A and B are shown apart, each in its own frame.
Chain A
Amino acid sequence: VKDECRDVTAFLDEYLERSLAADSVRVFEEHIAECADCAHFLASYRATRALAGEALRGGPAAASSAPAPMELPVPERLIEAILAARRRER
């Protein structure tokens, strides 16, 4: 890792997954300590990873007082429609 923003950005995943060698971690962290842009970038990149997981899982789990979607019934006609569509496709 070179002591510049471009290189630090390229190794963000390795840094967060702790797969960087110790001397690279040192260069990385020294750069972050001195460079506000890269410190902000690291924090926002970490937040992006977390938000992507939360959003893809259908989150947030319980944001409002509305009933959880899980509790809504499954319409029988949806199941019938899927099976009928398959029979038409064969």
Chain B
Amino acid sequence: VSRGGNHTRRPTRALVDALRRGDGAAYERLVREHTPKLLALARRYCAGHGDAQDVVQDAFLQAFRALDRFDGRAQLSTWLFRITVNCALMKLRARSRRPELRIEELQPCFSPDGHHESPIAAWAAPEDGTLERADLCAKVREAIAQLPESYRTVLVLRDLEGLSTLEAAHVIGENENTTKIRLHRARLALRTLLDPLLREGQL
């Protein structure tokens, strides 16, 4: 997902103004332009079941409701992409019927002298291009979907959109240090969730 330069800012501003005025043609332009990419993304998240179109529709409706909060810092396409990812993760979680987990329970444990409480196993990840790798990615998405929202959001901003910690902090309205800690805890939690899948000898 690219964050474009100044040359794309002005048309975005004009389009957003038209959308805020309720200009039907502007809505149609937006939906026609962005649906192909968003649907392709949703289809990858929803592989094997037919929820992708629901995800895209949910995402657009959420975006329309949130237009007043779109601050123009991100590109419209990036913003829509982010909302679609979130809707797709929520759909995954609903489908798996797993609850949101508590972040504290997923942090590594240390003994009083500061050492890892239990032995840490080496991981063996399946190679690129294999079906096992595709299966693993689907499981990673399910695991991310189980993280509490504020942690999930930071992961999406950093690891999907590639924002810096400072940029991510601006988006979520927190300071840089809080954002940094949240990202670290999110990654530690995700590592805990993936550990049983990736320990050497499990595959």
Answer whether A and B are interacting partners. yes
A residues near B, CB below 8 A? 2, 4-7, 9-10, 12-13, 36-38, 40-41, 43-45, 47-49, 51-60, 62-64, 69-70, 72, 74-75, 78-79, 81-83, 85-87, 89-90
CA distance A58 to B195 in the complex (A): 21
> Is chain B's interface secondary structure helix, strand, loop, or mixed overall?
helix
Q: Are B57 and A48 in contact (CB under 8 A)?
A: no
CA distance A60 to B27 in the complex (A): 32
B residues near A, CB below 8 A? 22, 24, 27-28, 31-32, 35-36, 39-41, 43-45, 53, 56-57, 60-61, 64-65, 85, 108, 110, 113-116, 119-123, 125, 128-131, 133-134, 136-138, 140-141, 144, 155-156, 159-160, 180, 183-184, 187-188, 190-191, 194-195, 198
Q: Are A40 and B123 in contact (CB under 8 A)?
A: yes
CA distance A10 to B30 in the complex (A): 43
Please name 25 pairs of A and B residues whose Cβ atoms are closer than 8 Å in the assembled complex, sorted by A.
Answer: A4-B115, A5-B116, A6-B114, A7-B114, A9-B110, A10-B184, A13-B184, A44-B122, A45-B188, A48-B190, A48-B194, A51-B137, A51-B140, A55-B141, A60-B129, A60-B133, A64-B131, A72-B43, A79-B32, A81-B57, A85-B60, A86-B27, A86-B64, A87-B24, A89-B65
Select one of A13, A36, A83 contacting B27, CB under 8 A.
A83
> Is chain A's interface secondary structure helix, strand, loop, or mixed overall?
helix
Q: Are B141 and A5 in contact (CB under 8 A)?
A: no
Q: Are B22 and A56 in contact (CB under 8 A)?
A: no
Measured between beta carbons, the chain B residues less than 8 angstroms from A75 are 53
Measured between beta carbons, the chain A residues less than 8 angstroms from B114 are 2, 4-7
CB-CB under 8 A for A56 and B39, given A40-B120, A44-B123, A81-B57:
no
Select one of A37, A51, A69, A78 contacting B116, CB under 8 A.
A37
CB-CB under 8 A for A82 and B31, given A12-B184, A13-B183:
yes
